[in-house]
Amino acid sequence: MISQGVRLLIIGGSDAGISAALRARELEPRSEVTVVVADGYPNFSICGLPFYLSGETPDWHSLAHRTTDEIIDQGIALRLNTFARAIDPERQVVGVVDQAGVSADLPYDRLIIGTGAEPAPPAIPGADLPGVFRLHTMDDSFALNAWMTQRQPASAVIVGAGYIGVEMADALTHRGVAVTLIQRGSGVLTTIEPELGQIVETELRRHGVSVVTNAAISAISQNDEQLAAITVGGERMAGDLILLATGVRPVTALATSAGVQLGETGAIRVNRAMETNLPDVYAAGDCVETWHSLLECPVYLPLGTTSHKQGRVAGENAVGGHRQFMGTFGTQVVKVFELAIARTGLLTAEARANGYDPLTIAVSAWDHKAYYPGAQRLDMRVTGDRVSGRLLGAQIVGHWRAEVAKRIDVFATALANRMSVDALSDLDLSYTPPLSSPWDPVQMTAQAWVSAWRAEQKK
């Protein structure tokens, strides 16, 4: 490490910012690391908000990956409830203002921008009415929880059936609220292919969620206490509260006003070392573009796992390291009621749009030998390239206790090593009848793919 007593300033106290701070301190104990945190909740697990709101995680304090004291014990200075107003890259200072309105200029040798993302609610009339919520910060979740505790709503309308939408449909159902889930497109969870999305939709309905698809929202209206989401077609979905879960966008204004360039996706452009175009200024997490290892181009794909990795790389490089962010394969998993839904790599359409010639095969397999009690069906899809035989992606939907997530991780590890689909059969995977089969379902799916591929070639 070259840097002796480097002053590292980090804007943002969520996954990327704290990962960067910890990594810098781990590698360079002489570094002076300060993290500017907009609220009072550094290093909180935003992915855990649905479980706080469902009641499964009763104490919000436990959502912290680390306590404030644990962070400080690592030699990291925290400036909580402090807002970064301006970056001056010439003077290498960041102007901040705290809760009391006191301003300060914080000098830096290296700066890491981790300003994250913010909800992107639809720009429609009524989106700011009382009883209309977003869910992105601890304060958002406190506001929603307080409303629910006070009003005891009987019904809710959730707009958007992405991860937050389906998780909150589960969470509010768990709390006894009747949920209507509205999706603009033709199915829920567009991160997986429609055939698997159907299984998730069935699971939602099985637990009493009313799923409405092909319904874009044009307005929100209020009638006494009841709210209603109004679709473009004029239909009204009424509920005691409305949650807008229509995705997020990167928070970039602070960066751009200092001259930091954005990429085509609208997020901050960084190289694989997490450097921006400005000297000594890095960026990481939900505010940046992410290198996609299969597409070999930057994408905007804000995920907690990626934020941790990017923050760690930025923190290492900010104190003189030379680590590269190795890229994402878009690996994701979500639990909805009894199902886990996981994917890695590309969907068929994504692969086709990016110059591959994808073949996708669907296989249904038991998670373990059916003669041992409790076997569950796994609905699996694997995508490979017809030209090269290379693995391009996989999707699995199945019972959440059926090792769905770690099976996707076997595929993700294979993707990282550019394996062919056929080579999955050679993997020495573990087997005992309560947990798998002599050919794991990962391999059964791969073998079905190779058979179908060969059959095509014989035609």
* Nearest to a second copy of 169, 405 (CB atom): 405
- Phi first, then psi, for residue 266 (nearest 5°) are 95, -5
- Report angle CA 127, 299, 291 to the nearest 5 degrees: 140
**Residue 11: C-alpha distances to residues 32, 106, 162 (Å):** 14, 11, 28
Binding mask 16-35 for a second copy (x = CB under 8 A): ----------x---------
* Nearest to a second copy of 60, 83 (CB atom): 60
CB of 454 to a second copy, least distance (A): 9
145 binds a second copy (CB under 8 A): no
- Please, are residues 267 and 292 in contact by the beta-carbon 8 Å criterion? no
370 binds a second copy (CB under 8 A): yes
63 binds a second copy (CB under 8 A): yes
- Which range of residues in 54-62, 67-75, 193-201, 242-250 is near a second copy by CB under 8 A? 54-62
Q: Where do the DSSP E strands lie in 198-235?
A: 210-212, 217-223, 226-231
Catalytic residue among 39, 45, 47, 65: 47
287 is known as an active-site residue: no
* Nearest to a second copy of 293, 348 (CB atom): 293
338 binds a second copy (CB under 8 A): no
CB of 115 to a second copy, least distance (A): 19
- Determine which residue in the list 41, 329, 356, 449 makes contact with a second copy, applying CB under 8 A: 329
The interface with a second copy within residues 210-269 (CB under 8 A) comprises none
62 binds a second copy (CB under 8 A): yes
**Residue 149: C-alpha distances to residues 50, 177, 353 (Å):** 15, 12, 47
- Phi first, then psi, for residue 399 (nearest 5°) are -60, 140
The whole-angstrom separation of Cα 207 and Cα 65 is 31
* Nearest to a second copy of 316, 385 (CB atom): 316
**DSSP string covering 351-403, please?**
HHHTT--EEEEEEEEESS-TTSTT--EEEEEEEEETTT-BEEEEEEEEETTSS
Of 16, 14, 34, nearest to 25 by C-alpha is 34
* Nearest to a second copy of 150, 417 (CB atom): 417
Binding residues for a second copy, rule CB under 8 A, total 73
- Determine which residue in the list 1, 7, 39, 57 makes contact with a second copy, applying CB under 8 A: 57
174 binds a second copy (CB under 8 A): no
The whole-angstrom separation of Cα 270 and Cα 128 is 34
The interface with a second copy within residues 400-439 (CB under 8 A) comprises 400-401, 403, 405-410, 412-417, 419, 423, 425-436, 438-439
CB of 389 to a second copy, least distance (A): 14
CB of 193 to a second copy, least distance (A): 17
Task: Please identify which residue in the block is written with the tokens 């937050």.
Answer: 164
**Residue 209: C-alpha distances to residues 122, 173, 186 (Å):** 22, 8, 16
* Nearest to a second copy of 153, 327 (CB atom): 327
- Please, are residues 351 and 358 in contact by the beta-carbon 8 Å criterion? yes
293 binds a second copy (CB under 8 A): yes
- Please, are residues 95 and 89 in contact by the beta-carbon 8 Å criterion? no
344 binds a second copy (CB under 8 A): yes
* Nearest to a second copy of 106, 419 (CB atom): 419
* Nearest to a second copy of 252, 307 (CB atom): 307
CB of 128 to a second copy, least distance (A): 30
306 binds a second copy (CB under 8 A): yes
- Which range of residues in 95-103, 109-117, 144-152, 399-407 is near a second copy by CB under 8 A? 399-407
55 binds a second copy (CB under 8 A): no
> In this structure, how many other beta carbons lie within 10 angstroms of the beta carbon of residue 301?
18
- Determine which residue in the list 45, 68, 190, 348 makes contact with a second copy, applying CB under 8 A: 45
- Please, are residues 71 and 85 in contact by the beta-carbon 8 Å criterion? no
The whole-angstrom separation of Cα 395 and Cα 352 is 16
> In this structure, how many other beta carbons lie within 10 angstroms of the beta carbon of residue 348?
17
* Catalytic site positions: 47
